[in-house]
Amino acid sequence: MIGVGKSGKLRRHGALALWVVLGVLPSLGLAQRVNPNERAAPRLTNVEDKDDISKPDGKIWVLDFKFFDPRTITVDIPGRGRKICWYMKYQVINNTSEPRYFVPDFVIVTPDNPGAAYHDQVLPKAQEAIRQVEDPTGYLDIKNSVTIASKPISPSKPNAAPSAVMGVAIWDDIDPEANRFSIFVSGLSNGWSLAEIPPDNKQIVRRKTLQLNFKRLGERPYQRTGEIRFVPPVEWVYRATNVEVPAELAPAKGPETPEKPK
């Protein structure tokens, strides 16, 4: 049997044979993913898109996004005490033709408490604790929501390995009773639309946003890492922002159809 010999030479040959096999298996579609919790969020069309997102010269661009199931970590946060923080590790890849800025906003919404929205935060102590778990050597250079937006993401070259930027979104004070929640990721696209919000019919901007749905397993009082599971499929929605369009800049409406005389 190769690799189970008495000499170091045979062991080295066995290790080499193992690497060769591992290199061949992906081409046969038989190898498991190196990171089984890594999931891709493919770019999908929405009916509100103003152009074809697959066109190289289209008006709408969308960055490619990969994510890992959220996890929890307990950290002493200065001024807040000991907290259970949720975090989601992710990758952003630019497969468009130009450099693109990714200015993210990660928001958790729970159906159990529809009025609550938890935005991700920059928590240095939590980020350092996460780095020690997820990237102890610093090779991945995991960025937070501020540092990842500091410079544009370069486009990946055709027929080459994609150039991915690794980031992490962090939250604290998530409702421990919530067992289902959605994470909305904005900043991955420049797609937008206008919508009127009653009762004043003010026009607001809606952004093309990635929606990821999850469920939490286990008992509610406990928040353990590894208990959060993705609920497919990924969704792309146009989600309302807090940006209102001033009346003087709002698009003019067409004339109303007069009522027919009775």
DSSP of 172-236:
ES--TT--EEEEEEESSB--EEEEEETTTTEEEEEEEEEEEEEEE-S-TT---TT-EEEEEEEEE
- Per this entry, what is the length of the chain? 262
Asked if residue 189 is part of any domain, the answer here is yes
Asked if residue 255 is part of any domain, the answer here is no
* Overall average pLDDT of the 158-162 stretch: 82
For the stretch 39-84, pLDDT in tens is 999 999 999 999 999 887 789 999 999 999 999 999 999 999 999 9
Of 70, 77, 95, nearest to 154 (Cα)? 95
Q: What is the value of pTM for the model shown?
A: 0.78
Tokens read off for 43: 């770019």
Q: Which residue has the higher pLDDT, 165 or 158?
A: 165
Q: Are residues 9 and 59 in the same domain?
A: no
Q: What share of the chain is helix, strand, coil (3-state, %, to 5)?
A: 15, 40, 50
Q: Are residues 58 and 163 in the same domain?
A: yes
Residue 225 above 70 pLDDT? Answer: no
* Overall average pLDDT of the 108-132 stretch: 91
Asked if residue 261 is part of any domain, the answer here is no
Of 35, 73, 49, 240, nearest to 169 (Cα)? 73
Asked if residue 250 is part of any domain, the answer here is no
Task: Give the pLDDT score at 247.
Answer: 55
Q: Are residues 16 and 93 in the same domain?
A: no
Residue 229 above 80 pLDDT? Answer: yes
Measured between alpha carbons, how far is residue 132 from residues 46, 48, 186, 228 in Å? Answer: 39, 42, 27, 21
* Overall average pLDDT of the 182-203 stretch: 89
Confidence band, pLDDT 50/70/90 cuts, at residue 193? very high
Cross-strand partners of 100: 153
Confidence band, pLDDT 50/70/90 cuts, at residue 166? very high
Task: Give the pLDDT score at 157.
Answer: 87
Contact residues for 220 (Cβ-Cβ < 8 A; gap 6+): 176, 177, 179
Q: Are residues 13 and 108 in the same domain?
A: no
Number of domains in the chain: 2
Q: Are residues 104 and 23 in the same domain?
A: no
* Overall average pLDDT of the 189-211 stretch: 88
Q: Are residues 21 and 147 in the same domain?
A: no
* Owning domain of residue 81: 36-244
Q: Which residue has the higher pLDDT, 113 or 142?
A: 142
* Overall average pLDDT of the 122-130 stretch: 97
Asked if residue 54 is part of any domain, the answer here is yes
Task: Give the pLDDT score at 15.
Answer: 45
Residue 101 above 90 pLDDT? Answer: yes
Q: Are residues 19 and 119 in the same domain?
A: no
Answer whether 89's CB lies under 8 Å from 162's CB: no
Q: Which residue has the higher pLDDT, 148 or 26?
A: 148
Asked if residue 124 is part of any domain, the answer here is yes
Residue 248 above 80 pLDDT? Answer: no
Q: Are residues 97 and 198 in the same domain?
A: yes
Give dist(CA 88, CA 99) in Å, integer: 24
Give dist(CA 72, CA 218) in Å, integer: 13
Percent residues over pLDDT 70 in the chain: 76
Residue 88 above 60 pLDDT? Answer: yes
Backbone angles phi, psi at 181, to 5 degrees: -160, 160
Q: Are residues 109 and 13 in the same domain?
A: no
Residue 199 above 60 pLDDT? Answer: yes
Asked if residue 45 is part of any domain, the answer here is yes
Q: Are residues 87 and 126 in the same domain?
A: yes
Backbone angles phi, psi at 53, to 5 degrees: -70, -15
Cross-strand partners of 73: 85
Q: Are residues 83 and 17 in the same domain?
A: no
Q: Are residues 1 and 87 in the same domain?
A: no
* Overall average pLDDT of the 186-195 stretch: 94
- pLDDT, the chain, mean: 81
Asked if residue 262 is part of any domain, the answer here is no
Confidence band, pLDDT 50/70/90 cuts, at residue 35? low
Q: Which residue has the higher pLDDT, 105 or 11?
A: 105
